[in-house]
Amino acid sequence: MISTFVASRAASIPCLLTAFLDAIVSEAKSKCRRDYEKEDSLNRKLIAMATASALLTFADSSIISCRQRRGLTGTDEWSHDRTTKALELLSAPMCVQRSCAKLSVEFCNLKVESRIIQQVPQFNTRNWRCLAVDQAVSSVETAGLVFPIFLPPDVELLKDPAARNIAAKIQQLPVQTSLSAQPIMTSCVEPKAKGTCAAPVMLLHGFDSSVLEWRYTYPLLEDSGVESWAIDILGWGFSNAEGVKSYGVAAKREHLYEFWKAYVKRPMVLVGPSLGGAVAIDFALAHPDAIAKLVLVNAQAYTEGVGEMATLPKLLAYMGVSVLKSVPVRFYANTLIFTGATYSFLLDAMRVGRLHTLMPGWADATVSFMLSGGYNVAASISQVQQETLVIWGEQDKIVSRTFAEKLVGDIANAKLEYIKDCGHIPHVEKPSIFAALLAEFVSQHR
């Protein structure tokens, strides 16, 4: 649709951009004008080149011809890196830049604050600009995604292209258990190709989270040829959480095992981040036949259940769950989880992390888990026999790195890999490093 619109109005790039932007921001022109006046020269050029690049990515040969007539380098095949192409547009006429700048900073999700650049010295101005351009182009590319009907409508509010991409891939597979008369429709992301690895990888998530947690790492694992499953733990994520007898530890274990028997069917590398580490340890001890290797990521393995929350009256438990769902609590949690993140990133990460709480039955499932007592695997960790990789973000403000060393000491066949300048969720903060460590571990022969 965008390509047809662009091609039909390709008389000139300035006219094209003006028409396109006017259609989008017709109700926000005054706000955009104020935003434009507030932005410094760097941000104005950033918005200009990002928007123009996004449009050109979808343009046909007539637009490419216009680009060439203006003296910009490149070929019709678009084989060069799209960020490099976008950076070339910095030399575009000011009329183009002024037209592009009408698009608000919030729409592009590209605000580059000088104070953030100063706080993160390893990112120079050009790096931030390249990153922002890439996100702008990706935002246009993911604008037409079709999301599964069972996801909450608020999925449309997500701006992060990676989150939108993986959300579009989520499906529900039926899993028969003793927990309900009907199969539990279980949300997961299924690998494109199966049987490509000696051991498939199963990606769990942390406490009260979802498969969206793997939005950055999952594509990298796919590109590395790793057969990867991402699954929502029973009671969380986007599975059907209604009509299930229990959401306690035993129920979560049974559900995961039945999923493995029905779909994975081979010993797997089980990856557990945060509380998912306790889930992984509990599962490995109960079903060693299903586990080839274990990966624990900033694991909350020494937490002794949910503490006093297990004794709360049900009314108070529901009140606590309501607070857990709230925007302020979710946003504040992200400030602890991520190191050096921008406000716009934290805001969208809050939307991503909160989306599953809008599913029917979420509150009941979470209260059921709390009142069940939660996970308490500390005394059994030394019984883990599988080869184990412990990955730890050095700057974790939630779980101390001393527990990483304790895990390696308690598990006979374990090794530890630290990730620098990283907090509680390495697979979100440092996906490239994390994916490389995991892919190498999976490929190693025992």
Which position among 255, 356, 424, 427 bears the catalytic label?
424
CA distances from 122 to 116, 118, 125, 395, 436 (A): 11, 9, 10, 16, 21
In the chain, DSSP finds a helix count (H) and a strand count (E) of 21, 8
Catalytic (active site) residue 445: no
**Amino acid type, 106:** E
User: Directed axis angle between helix 13-24 and helix 94-101, to 10°?
Assistant: 10
Of 187, 228, 274, 368, which is the active-site residue?
A: 274
Q: Quick one: DSSP state of residue 318? A: H
By the 8 A CB rule, do 384 and 285 touch?
yes
> Could you confirm whether 424 is annotated as catalytic?
yes
Helix residue ranges per DSSP H, 109-182: 114-119, 125-141, 161-169
Angle at 302 between CA 298 and CA 307, to 5 degrees: 115
Q: Kindly state the tokens that stand for 90.
A: 């910095």
Q: Where are the alpha helices (DSSP H) in 210-342?
A: 217-223, 249-259, 275-286, 314-325, 327-337
User: 189 phi and psi, to 5 degrees?
Assistant: -115, 120
Active-site option among 208, 348, 396, 410:
396
Q: Using the Cα atoms of residue 182, residue 188, residue 190 and residue 191 in order, give the sign of their dihedral.
A: negative
Cα 87 to Cα 46: distance, rounded to the nearest angstrom = 9
**Does 80 participate in catalysis according to the annotation?**
no
User: Which residues are identified as catalytic?
Assistant: 274, 396, 424
